[in-house]
Amino acid sequence: MSRGSAYLVLGLLLATSLAGCSGSSLDGELEDVVVDQRLVPLSPVEAAAPELTELGEALFFDKILSGNRDTACATCHHPLEAGGDGLSVSIGTKGVGLGSDRVLGADRDLVARNAPDLFNRGADGWFTMFWDSRVAGTAEHGFSSPAGDALPDGLDSVLAVQALFPPTSPVEMLGLPGDVSANGQLNEIASETSVEAIWDLIVNRVLDIDEYRSMFSAAFPDIAVDEIGIEHIGNAIAAYEASAFLFADSPWDRYLAGEIDALNADAKRGAILFYGEAGCGGCHTGALLTDQLTHNVAPPQVGPGIDDDGSDDFGREGVSGNYSDRYGFRTPPLRNVELTGPWLHDGAYLDLESAIRHFLDPASALAAYDPSPLRDEVTEFYLVDEARIDQAITLMDPRLRVPKELTDEEIDQVEAFLVSLTDPAAKDLGHMVPDSVPSGLPVDGS
């Protein structure tokens, strides 16, 4: 079915459902929003071969991909933490513990940004990854990434490209030259300076494990095991993430499919505000609820940040080199958003209501921001420089310059709509954690 046909069918479903609905005035107003915004439920993901997703699951949870054999993809994107880590900014290699209990290793730095959740990252339409969109593109038209021409061919999606970079980050998974793992093994990867060399050594490590060789043979039967490259690791991890973190049965999805009673009155009013007076729908667009573009929302800066001296974070400017992109960060998707805090690129807000209020009046929220609820190692980096605040406000997205005057009740209604974006099944993902991985290294949360 074409998108146009889907909108027509949706309109007919809504109109039919509304015919005998006691709340038809409210539902009629929301129906107009749905049709005007061309909103449809999230499409299902085409299932990958089970051998590929099983391989991806093992790699996702296996710390063998990290230089110090102590950090997996799952460490910062864990099912027990709704696909994130529950921290404002992440703690990578040499850290101890999981989620909000994780502590920084000795003589280690915090990761500069918040770990995004993984919900629905394999759905149709994704073309950017990371807070600054430094990975972008499609398999059809090619990808841009920090690796430039060194990025291998054969990557299936932008999600697969993204998976290749945390293992190359010294603070996230790579570690430092001279590091020794807890089991006494030397980190032989961290001394490498090129991404190609790092990726080659990771592949060698993985293929030294007989069980992985068998799993790669099953997942890629047309490729000799000795020809496996980092692109196959990326594709397997992405296939697993796309399958395991697909949650598209929220009340909002059911409403869009014609189930008018799937939303309560507050959520319906919140949806009308979200796409109307609150102005949220200007950036949180489509089925993914993100335009995937970067915008300056005058965010507070906590944590070490990414810039020349490690105190601020210039966001998209660090990729584009354009001053106008300073403090621009990618619009986050909002599905299951109640589960995915802390919020903003640096996890500056620990509760969803505070994040909502920031977007209604960013200039005032930035000037009045209080970092005290955050962990001490994060707040010590809080940048309260008046010149920086003025600069962020000056460069702010023009759509946010005029404050949105919502009452407390209306803010509660917007939050009720955001809660309606949660698939109930996403609230308990403990079953996703395997008991073991082929390397034999411990699995976080098992």
Mean of pLDDT values over 287-297: 97
pLDDT in tens, 209-222: 999 999 999 999 99
pLDDT number for residue 183: 84
The answer, yes or no, to whether residue 5 has pLDDT greater than 70, is: no
Mean of pLDDT values over 185-199: 96
pLDDT in tens, 63-85: 999 999 999 999 999 999 999 99
Mean of pLDDT values over 21-36: 84
The answer, yes or no, to whether residue 372 has pLDDT greater than 60, is: yes
Radius of gyration of the chain (CA): 22
The answer, yes or no, to whether residue 417 has pLDDT greater than 80, is: yes
Cα–Cα distances in angstroms (integers) from residue 119 to residues 74, 133, 293, 429, in the given order:
13, 17, 18, 12
| Sequence-ordered list of residues with C-beta below 8 angstroms from that of 8, at least 6 positions apart, any chain | none
| Least confident residue range of 39-43, 250-254, 373-377 | 39-43
Mean pLDDT of the chain: 94
Mean of pLDDT values over 87-104: 97
Mean of pLDDT values over 275-303: 97
| Least confident residue range of 1-5, 128-132, 354-358 | 1-5
Cα gap 71→84, rounded to integer Å:
14
The answer, yes or no, to whether residue 339 has pLDDT greater than 90, is: yes
Burial of residue 2, with CB atoms counted within 10 A of its CB: 0-12 exposed, 13-18 middle, 19 or more buried: exposed
Cα gap 239→417, rounded to integer Å:
30
Mean of pLDDT values over 325-330: 97
pLDDT number for residue 13: 52
All structural domains of the chain, each given as residue ranges with its CATH number in brackets, are 3-41+249-424 (1.10.760.10), 50-245 (1.10.760.10)
Kindly state the helix (H) or strand (E) to which residue 135 belongs, with its residue range.
strand 135-138
The answer, yes or no, to whether residue 167 has pLDDT greater than 70, is: yes
Cα gap 352→332, rounded to integer Å:
13
pLDDT number for residue 43: 86
The answer, yes or no, to whether residue 10 has pLDDT greater than 70, is: no
User: What token pair was written down for 361?
Assistant: 């009046």
Kindly state the helix (H) or strand (E) to which residue 412 belongs, with its residue range.
helix 408-419
Cα gap 80→205, rounded to integer Å:
27
Mean of pLDDT values over 256-277: 97
Which one is predicted more confidently, 309 or 219? 219
Give the pLDDT band (50/70/90) at residue 14: low
The answer, yes or no, to whether residue 4 has pLDDT greater than 60, is: no
The closest of 277, 336, 359 to 29, measured between CA atoms, is 277
Which one is predicted more confidently, 376 or 3? 376
Cα gap 227→271, rounded to integer Å:
50
- CB distance 315 to 131 below 8 Å: yes
The answer, yes or no, to whether residue 23 has pLDDT greater than 90, is: no
Supply φ then ψ for residue 443, to 5 degrees. Answer: -105, 125
| Sequence-ordered list of residues with C-beta below 8 angstroms from that of 268, at least 6 positions apart, any chain | 23, 26, 27, 30, 417
pTM of this structure: 0.94
User: What token pair was written down for 76?
Assistant: 């910062």
User: What token pair was written down for 157?
Assistant: 């999606």
pLDDT in tens, 121-133: 999 999 999 999 9
The answer, yes or no, to whether residue 357 has pLDDT greater than 70, is: yes
Mean of pLDDT values over 360-389: 95
pLDDT number for residue 79: 97
The closest of 238, 173, 167, 227 to 197, measured between CA atoms, is 167
